[in-house]
């Protein structure tokens, strides 16, 4: 069985490094794609590391073990960069989720139902405060001005009477009154959530935080750097395996 000598591996690695570099340059000109770039980048560094350690004299076990610091450190940085993309990807995913339908007319209809029950003379005890607030809310919603649903929800919540649970309401009117006020509150809270989400989706939260050049550099490193850093770390780890298998790390180097 033929055994590869250290010089042979070094020579082959040098040739492979040159070929990989040429292919990498050609692939960038031919625009062969990101995956091809990563594969050739891996082959290039695998060859460079093999060539460099094959030509290095005086390798000891301690020096070889120190390689762990380099490839594990590079791998950790690559993982951190990849993880930093998750919030951006998560936000992009959330932006693609369609919001449930929201119609102002539906809210007005539910408020009108609340007016009906809160202003009913048969309600015991009477709710004049709620009746007046419901009419004011209905008129506000029916107008042409923009509605701040978050503010309206806070005002409505503040004036609700919830001293008794629905089961403790004695009459059908009281039960309907309680039910309708809960429906209106849910409508206002959903309206606040709906328009807040639309504003968040329409605005880029990172816009204007950094100068355009710094922003582009940061996004480029964050998005494209981690795969190249990770495959470089893997190439270094495989090179360490070669060193261990062929016994390059001795007190009396070959």
Q: Is 207 helix (H, G, I), strand (E, B) or coil?
A: coil
Q: Quick check: 152 and 186 in contact, CB under 8 A?
A: no
What pLDDT, on the 0 to 100 scale, is given for residue 164?
A: 47
The whole-angstrom separation of Cα 124 and Cα 194 is 35
Cα 142 from chain centroid? 39
Looking at the chain, the whole-number percentage of residues with pLDDT higher than 90 is: 19
| 220 band by pLDDT with thresholds 50, 70 and 90 | low
Q: Is 73 helix (H, G, I), strand (E, B) or coil?
A: helix
Counted residue by residue, the chain has a size of 254
Give the burial string for 243-252 (b: 16+ CB within 10 Å, else e). Answer: beeeebbeee
Mean pLDDT taken over the chain:
80
- Of 102, 124, 128, give the one whose Cα is nearest residue 115: 128
Looking at the chain, the whole-number percentage of residues with pLDDT higher than 70 is: 80
Place of tokens 């033929």: 2
**Model pLDDT for residues 191-203, shown as the tens digit of each residue:** 888 888 777 767 6
| 49 band by pLDDT with thresholds 50, 70 and 90 | very high
**Model pLDDT for residues 29-38, shown as the tens digit of each residue:** 888 888 898 9
Q: Where are the domains of the chain?
A: 6-95+226-245, 104-202
- Of 52, 20, 50, give the one whose Cα is nearest residue 36: 20
Average pLDDT over residues 1-24: 85
DSSP E strands in 77-162: the ranges are: none
Average pLDDT over residues 136-148: 83
Average pLDDT over residues 128-151: 84
Model pTM score? 0.51
**Model pLDDT for residues 98-135, shown as the tens digit of each residue:** 777 788 888 889 989 988 888 888 877 778 888 888 88
DSSP state of 98: P
- Of 180, 188, 170, 186, give the one whose Cα is nearest residue 131: 180
Assigned token pair, 191: 């309206």
């Amino acid at each position: 069985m033929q055994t590869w000598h250290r010089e042979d591996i070094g020579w082959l690695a040098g040739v492979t490094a040159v070929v990989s570099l040429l292919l990498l340059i050609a692939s960038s000109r031919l625009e062969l794609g990101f995956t091809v770039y990563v594969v050739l980048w891996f082959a290039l560094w695998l060859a460079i590391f093999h060539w460099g350690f094959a030509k290095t004299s005086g390798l000891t076990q301690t020096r070889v073990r120190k390689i762990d610091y380099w490839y594990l450190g590079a791998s950790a940085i690559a993982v951190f960069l990849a993880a930093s993309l998750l919030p951006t990807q998560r936000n992009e995913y959330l932006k693609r989720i369609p919001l449930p339908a929201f119609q102002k007319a539906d809210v007005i209809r539910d408020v009108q139902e609340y007016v009906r029950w809160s202003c009913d003379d048969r309600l015991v005890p009477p709710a004049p405060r709620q009746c007046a607030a419901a009419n004011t809310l209905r008129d506000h919603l029916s107008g042409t001005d923009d509605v701040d649903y978050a503010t309206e929800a806070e005002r409505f919540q503040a004036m609700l009477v919830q001293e008794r649970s629905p089961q403790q309401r004695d009459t059908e009117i009281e039960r309907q009154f309680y039910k309708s006020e809960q429906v209106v509150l849910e409508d206002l809270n959903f309206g606040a959530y709906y328009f807040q989400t639309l504003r968040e989706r329409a605005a880029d939260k990172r816009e204007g935080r950094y100068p355009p050049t710094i922003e582009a550099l940061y996004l480029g490193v964050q998005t494209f750097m981690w795969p190249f850093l990770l495959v470089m770390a893997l190439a270094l780890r495989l090179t360490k395996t070669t060193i261990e298998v062929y016994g390059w790390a001795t007190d009396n180097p070959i």
